[in-house]
Amino acid sequence: MTSGLLRPRESTGTIVNMNRSAMSIPTTFTYANQTVNRLGYGAMRITGRGVWGSPPDREECLAVLRRAVELGVDFIDTADSYGPYVSEELIAQALHPYGNVKIATKAGFLRTGPNVWVPCGRPDYLRQECEMSLRRLGQDSLDLFQLHRIDPTVPREEQFGLLKALLDEGKVQAVGLSEVSVAEIKDAQRVVTISTVQNRYNLSDRRSDDVLDYCEQQGIGFIPWFPIAAGELAREGGPLHAAATAQGITMAQLSLAWLLRRSPVMMPIPGTSKVAHLEENLGAADVTFDDATFAAISAIGV
Ligand SMILES: NC(=O)c1ccc[n+]([C@@H]2O[C@H](COP(=O)([O-])OP(=O)(O)OC[C@H]3O[C@@H](n4cnc5c(N)ncnc54)[C@H](OP(=O)(O)O)[C@@H]3O)[C@@H](O)[C@H]2O)c1
């Protein structure tokens, strides 16, 4: 596959309530003065089993990161908890000093073993993790710092207040939330500017439709995690097989192109540890659907 799969940057501002005809779908999104290609890359899969420790093939993972940028990806999602630390360390090794590539990291989970995720939103802990991400990523200020989860055991105003303090101090350039309701976003917005929201969302799981609609209304970037349902939507003979074949594209591409078409604030971050899957997934940026095809795919009962 050749380079240049993602389209060049456009000098658009934040997109709100735009016309959704296929021709006017923007390829970029702007949050907090950062304009990025909407199809990004999620770096959770470049770790060991259970998102714990080193990946089985470290060189391939470094190659994935470099190839992503070569192909035009300029938005990479990670977290302190991926590994923990492994994902951020690999990103720094492969890509520092990053150029125009924005690294979106997160904090808010303790990791005590493979597949174990314990919310921790104590402000002193979140501040420590921000400092440690700065050190690991080799940055003076994080491009986007996301609260991985609101910790139900800590007053949420304290968690949002810490995000505001980090923004005011210039430790972070923008703030995001993850797995939140519309009410929680509104609570946070009373304290700090929210640039992005990252919720689970894909063709087969649209429970966050209301959050997506609110983000669109507010000009907040919506980052759908699990965009191809961890590979399930790309499964041979799966529910998308016929529709993808009809379009002459792969099922992973169909899932991602559908997301890009669903909303101009959508910023999918498909995750993979393999260059071949990365190249396939980024091909979704070149797929366009007319309105009828989009409606038909939306109606697939997956
Ligand atoms: N905010 C949160 O709470 C949260 C939670 C989970 C994830 N995330 C973020 O969201 C990103 C994406 O989520 P995700 O990785 O869980 O789900 P995903 O992107 O839907 O799926 C990734 C999985 O699908 C496989 N895959 C990727 N491309 C494929 C293709 N073309 N054909 C077949 N299989 C393919 C990958 O395996 P291979 O490695 O073999 O390609 C990997 O196991 C993560 O990387 C992370 O940055 C955020």
CATH code, domain carrying 153: 3.20.20.100
Ligand 1 surroundings by CB, under 6 angstroms: 42-45, 77, 178-179, 198, 225-231, 234, 252, 269-274, 277, 280-281
Whether 86 is in a domain gets the answer yes
| Ligand 1 atom at shortest distance from the alpha carbon of 227 | 20
Run of H or E including 177: strand 175-178
Test site for ligand 1: of 61, 149, 196, 226, most ligand atoms within 8 A of the Cβ: 226
pLDDT classification of 237: cutoffs 50, 70, 90: confident
| Ligand 1 atom at shortest distance from the alpha carbon of 106 | 1
Check residues 148 and 234 and name the one with the higher pLDDT: 148
46 has pLDDT over 90: yes
Whether 14 is in a domain gets the answer no
Range of the domain at 173: 20-299
The whole-number average pLDDT for the span 132-158 is 98
The whole-number average pLDDT for the span 243-247 is 91
Whether 47 is in a domain gets the answer yes
Q: How far is the CA of 54 from the centre of ligand 1 (A)?
A: 16
In this structure, the residue with its CA closest to atom 28 of ligand 1 is 277
Q: How far is the CA of 45 from the centre of ligand 1 (A)?
A: 6
Task: Give Dmax over CA atoms of the chain in angstroms.
Answer: 53
Q: How far is the CA of 125 from the centre of ligand 1 (A)?
A: 27
Q: How far is the CA of 89 from the centre of ligand 1 (A)?
A: 19
**Cis peptide before 97, with omega less than 30 degrees from 0?**
yes
Whether 15 is in a domain gets the answer no
The pLDDT, as a whole number, for residue 10 is 39
Q: How far is the CA of 157 from the centre of ligand 1 (A)?
A: 31
| Ligand 1 atom at shortest distance from the alpha carbon of 280 | 31
Structurally, the chain folds into a number of domains equal to 1
Whether 79 is in a domain gets the answer yes
With a threshold of 0.85, does the pTM exceed it? yes
Test site for ligand 1: of 228, 249, 302, most ligand atoms within 8 A of the Cβ: 228
Told to judge if 31 belongs to the known catalytic residues of this protein, a careful annotator would answer: no
**Cis peptide before 119, with omega less than 30 degrees from 0?**
no
- Name which of 73-77, 110-114, 236-240, 252-256 the model is least confident about: 236-240
Whether 112 is in a domain gets the answer yes
Catalytic residue, from 31, 41, 82, 201: name it. Answer: 82
Q: Tokens 């939103």 correspond to what residue?
A: 121
Whether 2 is in a domain gets the answer no
User: Which of left, alpha, beta for 17 (phi over 0: left; psi -120 to 50: alpha)?
Assistant: left
Whether 162 is in a domain gets the answer yes
Residues 97-121 have pLDDT tens digits of 999 999 999 999 999 999 999 999 9
The whole-number average pLDDT for the span 148-175 is 98
pLDDT classification of 301: cutoffs 50, 70, 90: low
Average pLDDT, rounded, for the chain: 92
pLDDT classification of 189: cutoffs 50, 70, 90: very high
220 has pLDDT over 50: yes
Give the count of beta carbons closer than 10 Å to the beta carbon of residue 155.
11
The whole-number average pLDDT for the span 69-88 is 98
Which structure tokens are listed for 292?
């009828």
